């Protein structure tokens, strides 16, 4: 039944709805607190876990780019500069939650048990890189922009349908907020009060298109208003702020409070992908400015000032990360290729009779060409 | 046994499977209290509740995308698109996601969803309500495309579609939703999804069709029989993957084939069938394979739709041509 | 270049954006002013033009339904109860503007020179009903919901490209605000500051789905916030308010002020279409309540109170409208059918050689069946 | 005469027509300062300004829908979809609107737009970047579908597409964007859109293909020539409406036909061509029409894409089969 009020016959109905968009940030660029800090800021273990994820991701990134440059990996999308967003997300999600990512959330994925070898396999052109041994229900990387957002809503709908205290989280970029599916899914999540978190990784560029040409709205957080759900902005390069706000959003969803949109303001310090050359469209000074705000340094300086961390530990961590990454790269490079016929083997549960001849033909051609 | 028309059979299959499997969830526009604009989902919300029969916001890409997410969690969403004319926003989801989820994840995640939509012309519907674009979906690897042509097949094939572990596009020929009643035992028995159905045996010519056009095709076969031409009539029913064996075997027997469909000719599924015959059955042919189809023009508004849709006469004429060919 | 501020290091950035949605209504349900009226309220001719459009539309509606019931027209979508929205729009648009409608704006279309005969032809299954002799650049009725919204943005882009002081206006329902294209086009209009007005005919139902199940947002006007454009609510059953707010939006667009969204709150007093039976999903009392607020009576009572109008004039107008409608219906019923081959004649500018045989086949079959 | 590769020829055609007709407006994602991810639009924004080369928000349905609106006002939008994998959200606009605007309004409004997109596999691109779905568009009445296979044809066909008064889907085989250079006179001369191009004459077998696959097809023809088999090679180029006359005439001469395309076999455009031969050229055939195509499976990630794409060997094998058939 309609909830609209009947056509008014009173005076003074001028303002019928009011909204505000809030921003949260705790650390300045040097890692000093600018306001009262949330609980996590005093939990060294939690901070170190975030920090570790960020360092590991960055190390992984560097290796991936090196592999790509040497012809051992396909096009690769780096997460350089955005590590805090993904580390925080990994930290606040529970194993039974479901991540529906786009393609930069290595930090989150690794914390959830996706292996670096799997990630290398994916970008190395091998479907097995989407068969995560760890988080079996997480969606794989999604390339067609924003198409995963309705999946996340569907996952959340299934969770709600079954009355499970689980949460679906989907991540996408600033560019993705221009796609219809994003709005459609956010709107539906609002209608059904779904346990869903929509995390916008606003790294301020969509390939060569700056945030200002993507939308006239002052914030991306305010897109939530169109869906009747809550939306907020967070300093995406402040791991403490990200943890704080994402855990609030995830908790709220888990406790029946419904969906929220979190806009993480961060910056893509790298090219869009290894196939891109950002110098065609982006000024060097802009990048330089943003290096001052990069998240790893900020959290490290905070932790060091608090004496939660020191340079020796840091060196050790860097080394461990390098070793882990190297091992994963080796495992990737040593992975035996899939059989060509495998392209038929996961198409349907059972290969339809009519496709058998095509599979056979492929297997024969292949034997011929190997022979 | 109850006598059901096609849309009632759809409803019965939905109700049966919802009662049998609580993972089955129906969603779409107006499928709830309204029971769908054709009443395919009538009574389901009342019986199974609002959690299981969801009126969605008006957004087709969403409906498909939601279903992918739900299916990945082990639900069996049966989504309704109100008319095929509004199905195109789902193509992205069906092509890039639903059809690939199993393959991309090497079987880790699957997508047991059904996307139902009424399709086809002939009911004097408004603009954009009468098209037949089944071949678009039949081109997409990893999908199944199923079209029933009778109440019994609607019941059995829809049950099979819902139970199938992979995504199925289930297109319902709305022109025959209420054309005839048939005894349909509501016993939950499904029909196989990997076979054509031979509706009538004959030795002179093979008529291949699906959906509503089978009715004109059968009438043509009656008329031809009176003329002494024995037509074998095949209901393709499962358009993707398509069981060409049955068709090729029939053509091997008859040596002649006429394919009948409503969709525009160029790149319609009739082309695929004709191509397969040209590839595998060429030497059995006494005459060229003919296609009697919708024209390669926009489906006209309803005043002219009768001229667009292949009628009995066009089918009979085509058969006469292949019979007389030499 | 990015317009995002660099990551903040100041305090107190809590609230970064504020929004309000305003509502405008002037007349109560009995046509008495509840606040200071705008200029048009004292212009009898302008009011009579609005009123005339509303009465004509309602008369047309009744005839169309009668024709449908007697088998002389296909499925028809009535505009009952929403006449003020469309009359006001017709009044504020200029001939050189472009209307990109959905399917209920008969009032606007008639004021712009679409003939009733054309409208009957369209719903009577004849394409010639979209070949408007009057507004040559207006789009025809659009059935696939919200797909016309990007067209309107494209039309507005062309106007802006050419520096013309023209405006594109598109109309759509509450249901349409759930579709991706609506958001995509509104967002683009914001980015490019297009001369575009997005008019939401919020008649509170999308077939059987009430407004409350379409979106969790309190107003549909606030969907504009997601696009960074202005949005407001208006009493859609108050022709004076609609005229006032739509002329503001159209003027703004014409003067380079960019796009706006106007949500007209009205009510679908009829079934969705003649193919629908609203009693399946909507309570009679709800409809009854809304009849109290219907727009024709309200404007009439206002005009009569102001002595701009009297019952004699009213009777005369009703008669004229009935006569015009009857004439149009006759002209429709007397229209000779199109040739079947015509289905090929507007497909491409020139019929491709390869389609000639299909056209010939059709022409022959037709001759045979006529013979 | 400048030597241009295919993507440079696309750029030259765009630049020529933008200079000649100020109604031509280029739009798409990253087409502005970045010049497109393949550099097809490089330099255009600098030369013609931001009003004429528009970076759009990231929304493909929007890009198509905007173009329809612009075209209705007499502009000639040339929209780029960054990869065919992202073109599916435009299907609704292309099918329900672009292809019908003229027809719906009996010629009052028209839609002279071009939708460009790189397509096809073979460049080790990421997931969803390598598909070939041309037959989906070729099924839609009212559209033109054009695919160039050389720099010269890219130049001439794109000019024709922009000048055409109706909507054209212009698909660019990105695997051969930079494969070879050709002398292309930048004189604004367009090529006809209603004909196939016969690239090589031969009397033994007709090879029909389009886009990048023509290169393997030509290599196969070379190899076959060495074996004493004379292959006629036809570049379909204009897939919709398709000029079957040229193909049928060739098959009438050779009696044998092999169709080669990258897209999945079932309901690919090869099916339509084979069906037309089965319908109109049956009695000229010495052997069944063969199709050498992508498999009916999801385009694999790049490690296996070489096994998916038809290679020279598969083409040669198919030709040998039709030559040996008896
Ligand atoms: C639907 C779709 N359109 C276009 C592309 C090509 N593309 C890949 S990434 C990208 C930009 C995405 O920007 P954003 O959403 O901000 O994410 P970011 O890469 O900046 O993290 C584009 C246009 C795509 N992958 N999907
Ligand atoms: C894309 C699309 N989906 C579904 C439909 C079927 N349909 C026709 S009207 C309608 C409801 C539209 O509601 P609303 O936008 O509120 O407009 P109203 O009819 O109430 O004026 C639906 C679902 C359609 N025409 N187009
Ligand atoms: Mg971005
Ligand atoms: Mg409505």
Q: What is the pLDDT of residues A307-324, one digit of tens each?
A: 999 999 999 999 999 999
Q: What was the pLDDT predicted at A134?
A: 97
DSSP B221: H
Convert the pLDDT of each residue in D163-206 to its tens digit: 999 999 999 999 999 999 999 999 999 999 999 999 999 999 99
Å from CA of A175 to ligand 1 middle: 6
List, by residue number, the catalytic residues of C: 268, 272, 281
Parallel, antiparallel, or unpaired: how do β-strands C230-235 and C260-265 relate?
parallel
Rounded distance between C-alpha atoms, residue C124 and residue C118, angstroms:
9
Distance of CA A311 to the CA centre of its chain: 29
User: Is residue C211 within 6 Å of ligand 2 at its C-beta?
Assistant: no
Q: What was the pLDDT predicted at A13?
A: 56
Cis upstream peptide for C97 (omega within 30°): no
Q: Which of C269, C276, C359, C335 is nearest to C116 (CA)?
A: C335
Q: What was the pLDDT predicted at C371?
A: 52
Q: What was the pLDDT predicted at B254?
A: 97
- Provide the H-helix boundaries in B164-297: 213-226, 244-254, 269-280
Q: What was the pLDDT predicted at C13?
A: 56
* Angle, vertex CA B27, rays to CA B21 and CA B28, nearest 5: 155
CB contact under 8 A, D37 and A340: no
Question: What is the mean pLDDT of the segment spanning D254-275?
Answer: 98
Q: What was the pLDDT predicted at A369?
A: 65
| φ/ψ bin of C245: left (φ > 0), alpha (ψ from -120 to 50), beta (otherwise) | alpha
> Is the separation of the CB atoms in D135 and D240 below 8 Å?
no
Domain ranges of chain C: 18-337, 339-371
pLDDT exceeds cutoff 60 at A254? yes
Q: Which residues contact C335 (CB under 8 A, 6 or more apart)?
A: C117, C121, C126, C128
Rounded distance between C-alpha atoms, residue C20 and residue B289, angstroms:
67
CB contact under 8 A, D245 and C353: yes
| Integer-rounded Cα radius of gyration of chain A | 22
Q: What was the pLDDT predicted at C333?
A: 98
Number of other CB atoms surrounding residue C238 within 10 Å: 33
Question: SS3 for A353?
Answer: helix
> Is the separation of the CB atoms in A265 and C4 below 8 Å?
yes
C361 phi/psi in degrees, rounded to 5: -60, -45
Rounded distance between C-alpha atoms, residue D29 and residue D9, angstroms:
20
Number of other CB atoms surrounding residue A293 within 10 Å: 25
CB contact under 8 A, C218 and A16: yes
Q: Which of C105, C354, C115, C345 is nearest to C246 (CA)?
A: C105
Q: What was the pLDDT predicted at A5?
A: 46
Å from CA of B101 to ligand 1 middle: 20
Domains and CATH numbers, chain B: 3-183 (3.40.50.970), 197-323 (3.40.50.920)
Q: To test the ligand 2 pocket, which listed residue (B55, B58, B64, B81) has its Cβ within 8 A of the most ligand atoms?
A: B58
Q: Which residues contact B55 (CB under 8 A, 6 or more apart)?
A: B27, B28, B29, B30, B31, B32, B33, C208, C209, C213
Å from CA of D66 to ligand 1 middle: 19
User: Is residue C104 within 6 Å of ligand 2 at its C-beta?
Assistant: yes
Rounded distance between C-alpha atoms, residue D8 and residue D6, angstroms:
5
Q: How high does pLDDT run on average in chain A?
A: 95
CB contact under 8 A, C191 and A213: yes
Q: Which of D118, D137, D138 is nearest to D128 (CA)?
A: D118
What is the residue with the minimal CA distance to atom 11 of ligand 1?
A206
Q: What was the pLDDT predicted at B1?
A: 78
Q: What was the pLDDT predicted at A14?
A: 82
Rounded distance between C-alpha atoms, residue C177 and residue C220, angstroms:
8
Nearest chain D CA: its distance from C138 CA (Å): 9
Task: Give every residue of chain B whose pLDDT is below 70, as ranges.
Answer: none
B197–chain D Cβ distance below 8 A for any pair = no
Q: How many Cβ pairs closer than 8 A exist between chain B and C?
A: 106
CB contact under 8 A, B139 and D142: no
pLDDT exceeds cutoff 50 at A196? yes
Å from CA of A262 to ligand 3 middle: 15
Atom of ligand 2 nearest to the CA of B58: 23
Question: What is the mean pLDDT of the segment spanning D39-48?
Answer: 98
Residue whose token pair is 């317009």? C3
Q: What does the buried/exposed string (b/e) look like for C133-168 if buried means 16 or more CB atoms within 10 Å of the residue's CB? A: eebebbbbbbbbbbbbbbbbbbbbbbbbbeeeebbb
> Is the separation of the CB atoms in B295 and B264 below 8 Å?
yes
| Whether residue A106 lies in the annotated active site | no
Q: Is the ipTM of this complex over 0.85?
A: yes
For residue C185, give the nearest of D62, D97, D144 by CB distance: D62
Rounded distance between C-alpha atoms, residue D320 and residue D227, angstroms:
10
Convert the pLDDT of each residue in D74-89 to its tens digit: 999 999 999 999 999 9
Residues near ligand 1 (Cβ within 6 A): A 104, 143-145, 172-176, 201, 203, 205-207, 268, 272; D 29, 58, 60, 82, 86
Convert the pLDDT of each residue in A98-143 to its tens digit: 999 999 999 999 999 999 999 999 999 999 999 999 999 999 999 9
Half-sphere exposure in the Cβ direction for B231 (13 Å, CA): 29
**pLDDT truncated to tens, each residue of chain C (371 aa)?**
344 444 444 445 589 999 999 999 999 999 999 999 999 999 999 999 999 999 999 999 999 999 999 999 999 999 999 999 999 999 999 999 999 999 999 999 999 999 999 999 999 999 999 999 999 999 999 999 999 999 999 999 999 999 999 999 999 999 999 999 999 999 999 999 999 999 999 999 999 999 999 999 999 999 999 999 999 999 999 999 999 999 999 999 999 999 999 999 999 999 999 999 999 999 999 999 999 999 999 999 999 999 999 999 999 999 999 999 999 999 999 999 999 999 999 999 999 999 999 999 999 877 766 55
Q: What was the pLDDT predicted at C365?
A: 78
Residue A365: pLDDT band (50, 70, 90) is: confident
Given this structure, which CATH class describes domain C18-337? alpha beta
User: Is residue C174 within 6 Å of ligand 2 at its C-beta?
Assistant: yes
Å from CA of C212 to ligand 4 middle: 11
Q: Give A201-258 as a DSSP string.
A: EE-SEETTEEHHHH-SSS-STTHHHHHTSEEEEEETT-HHHHHHHHHHHHHHHHTT--
A19–chain B Cβ distance below 8 A for any pair = no
Q: Give B130-147 as a DSSP string.
A: S---HHHHHTSTT-EEE-
Closest ligand by atom to D80 CA:
1
Q: How many Cβ pairs closer than 8 A exist between chain C and D?
A: 136
- Tell me the torsion sign for CA atoms C341, C347, C351, C356: negative
Tell which of A97, A140, A158, A361 to mutate to test the B interface (max B CBs under 10 Å). Answer: A158
A195–chain D Cβ distance below 8 A for any pair = no
Residue of B nearest to A346 (CA): B103
Structure tokens at B238: 């499962």
Whole-model pTM: value is 0.97
Residue whose token pair is 């709205």? A217
pLDDT exceeds cutoff 70 at D312? yes
User: Per DSSP, what are the bridge partners of residue C235?
Assistant: C265
pLDDT exceeds cutoff 90 at A1? no
């Amino acid at each position: 039944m309609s909830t609209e009020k009947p056509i008014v016959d009173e005076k003074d109905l001028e303002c019928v709805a009011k909204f505000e968009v809030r921003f949260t940030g705790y650390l300045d660029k040097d890692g000093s607190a600018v306001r009262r800090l949330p609980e996590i800021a005093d939990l060294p273990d939690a901070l170190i876990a975030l920090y570790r994820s960020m360092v590991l991701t960055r190390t992984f990134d560097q290796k991936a780019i090196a592999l790509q440059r040497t012809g051992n990996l396909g096009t690769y999308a780096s997460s350089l500069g955005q590590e805090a967003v993904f580390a925080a997300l990994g930290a606040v999600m529970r194993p039974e939650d479901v991540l529906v990512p786009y393609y930069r959330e290595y930090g989150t994925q690794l914390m959830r048990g996706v292996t670096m070898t799997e990630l290398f396999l994916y970008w190395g052109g091998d479907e097995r890189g989407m068969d995560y041994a760890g988080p079996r229900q997480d969606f794989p990387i999604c390339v067609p922009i924003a198409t995963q957002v309705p999946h996340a809503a569907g996952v959340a709908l299934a969770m709600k349908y079954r009355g499970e205290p689980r949460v679906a989280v989907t991540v996408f970029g600033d560019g993705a907020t221009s796609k219809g599916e994003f709005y459609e899914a956010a709107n539906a999540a609002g209608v059904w009060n779904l346990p869903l978190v929509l995390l916008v990784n606003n790294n301020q560029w969509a390939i060569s298109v700056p945030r200002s040409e993507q939308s006239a709205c002052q914030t991306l957080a305010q897109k939530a208003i169109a869906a009747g759900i809550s939306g907020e902005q967070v300093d995406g390069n402040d791991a403490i702020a990200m943890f704080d706000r994402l855990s609030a959003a995830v908790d709220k969803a888990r406790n029946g409070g419904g969906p929220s949109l979190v806009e993480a303001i961060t910056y893509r310090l790298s090219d869009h992908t290894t196939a891109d050359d950002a110098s065609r469209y982006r000024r060097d000074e802009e990048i330089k400015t943003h290096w001052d705000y990069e998240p790893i340094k900020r959290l490290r300086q905070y932790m060091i000032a608090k004496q939660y961390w020191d340079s020796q530990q840091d060196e050790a961590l860097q080394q461990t990360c390098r070793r882990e990454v190297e091992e994963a790269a080796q495992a990737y490079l040593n992975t035996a290729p899939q059989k060509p016929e495998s392209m038929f083997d996961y198409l349907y549960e059972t290969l339809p009779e009519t496709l058998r001849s095509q599979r056979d033909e492929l297997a024969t051609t292949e034997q011929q060409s190997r022979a | 046994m109850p006598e059901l028309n096609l849309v009632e059979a759809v409803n019965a299959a939905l109700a049966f499977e919802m009662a049998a499997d609580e993972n089955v969830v129906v969603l779409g526009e107006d499928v709830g209290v309204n029971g769908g604009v054709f009443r395919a989902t009538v009574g389901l919300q009342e019986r199974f509740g609002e959690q299981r029969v969801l009126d969605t916001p008006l957004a087709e890409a969403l409906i498909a995308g939601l279903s992918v997410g739900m299916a990945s969690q082990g639900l069996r969403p049966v989504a309704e698109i109100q008319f095929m004319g509004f199905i195109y926003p789902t193509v992205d989801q069906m092509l890039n996601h639903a059809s690939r989820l199993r393959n991309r994840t090497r079987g880790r995640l699957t997508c047991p969803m059904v996307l139902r939509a009424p399709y086809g012309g002939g009911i004097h519907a408004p603009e954009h309500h009468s098209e037949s674009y089944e071949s678009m979906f039949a081109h997409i690897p990893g999908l199944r495309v199923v079209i029933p042509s009778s109440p019994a097949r609607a019941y059995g094939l829809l049950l099979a579609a819902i139970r199938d572990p992979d995504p199925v596009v289930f297109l319902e020929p709305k022109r025959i939703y209420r054309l005839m009643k048939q005894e349909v035992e509501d016993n939950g028995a499904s029909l196989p999804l990997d076979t054509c159905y031979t509706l009538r045996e004959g030795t002179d010519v093979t008529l291949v069709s699906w959906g509503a056009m089978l009715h004109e095709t059968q009438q043509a076969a009656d008329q031809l029989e009176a003329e002494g031409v024995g037509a074998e009539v095949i209901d393709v029913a499962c358009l993707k993957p398509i069981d060409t064996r049955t068709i090729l075997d029939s053509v091997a027997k008859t040596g002649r084939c006429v394919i009948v469909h409503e969709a525009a000719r160029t790149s319609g599924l009739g082309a695929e069938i004709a191509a397969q015959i040209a590839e595998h059955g060429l030497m059995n042919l006494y005459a060229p394979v003919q296609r009697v189809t919708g024209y390669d023009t926009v489906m006209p508004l309803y005043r002219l739709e009768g001229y667009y849709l292949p009628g009995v006469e066009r089918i009979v004429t085509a058969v006469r041509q292949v019979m007389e060919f030499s």
